Amino acid sequence: MIGEGQYDVAQVCTNGHSINSASRGMPQFNQEFCDECGAPSITECPSCKTPIRGHYNSGSLSFSKYVPPAFCYKCGKPFPWTAAAISTAKELAELQDNLTSAEKQELAGTVDDLVRNTPRTPVAQARFRSLMKKVGKDGYEALRSVLTNVLSEAARKAIFGT
């Protein structure tokens, strides 16, 4: 059992779907593969083997939805789902016909600063919003669906309002 004031270990598929936020405390809910996409599940950072932080045991009942972290707290590397979202968003930037080559590069360059909460994030947010006006609804929705789960909370609210 996970003690009060401790994190359990999360089980997440390599595409970022939460399988079990308490894989040690409730192992009966563990799965080798994701029932949403079929990808294998992991419980540790592929880079440094540190367990993925899951449910935090505060000592009281918690009904908050578990959201897998974007980066490993130990080594700072992106988890597989974050790396895939960054790569996909950059690829989508290249496919935007309404942007010039320079704007496509600019859009792709903002992605790294959007997924990390750094002093550069507000600049990336402003640049992203500006470029989204040129991209159009389809491009906006495609990028939104890819980035929503890996953006920092502040960036997600500033850009998408959610």
* Same domain, residue pair 4 and 39: yes
* Same domain, residue pair 51 and 118: no
Q: pTM of the full predicted structure? A: 0.88
Domain containing residue 39: 1-77
Residue 76: partners with Cβ closer than 8 Å, 6 or more residues away: none
* Same domain, residue pair 49 and 103: no
Task: State both tokens at 19.
Answer: 């399988």
* Same domain, residue pair 101 and 136: yes
The residue from 40, 58, 77 where one domain ends is: 77
Structural domain tally of the chain?
2
* Same domain, residue pair 112 and 49: no
CA dist., res. 83 & res. 71, Å (int) = 9
User: Residue range 10-27: average pLDDT?
Assistant: 96
* Same domain, residue pair 14 and 62: yes
Residue 85: partners with Cβ closer than 8 Å, 6 or more residues away: 16, 115, 146, 147, 149, 150
Residue 57: partners with Cβ closer than 8 Å, 6 or more residues away: 2, 3, 4, 5, 6, 7, 8, 25
* Same domain, residue pair 46 and 103: no
* Same domain, residue pair 72 and 102: no
pLDDT of residue 144: 92
- Per-residue pLDDT tens over the stretch 70-129: 999 999 999 999 999 999 999 999 999 999 999 999 999 999 999 998 899 999 999 999
* Same domain, residue pair 73 and 106: no
The residue from 30, 51, 77 where one domain ends is: 77
Instruction: Please give the share of the chain, as a percent, with pLDDT higher than 90.
Output: 78
* Same domain, residue pair 36 and 103: no
- Whether the predicted pLDDT of 65 surpasses 90: no
* Same domain, residue pair 96 and 140: yes
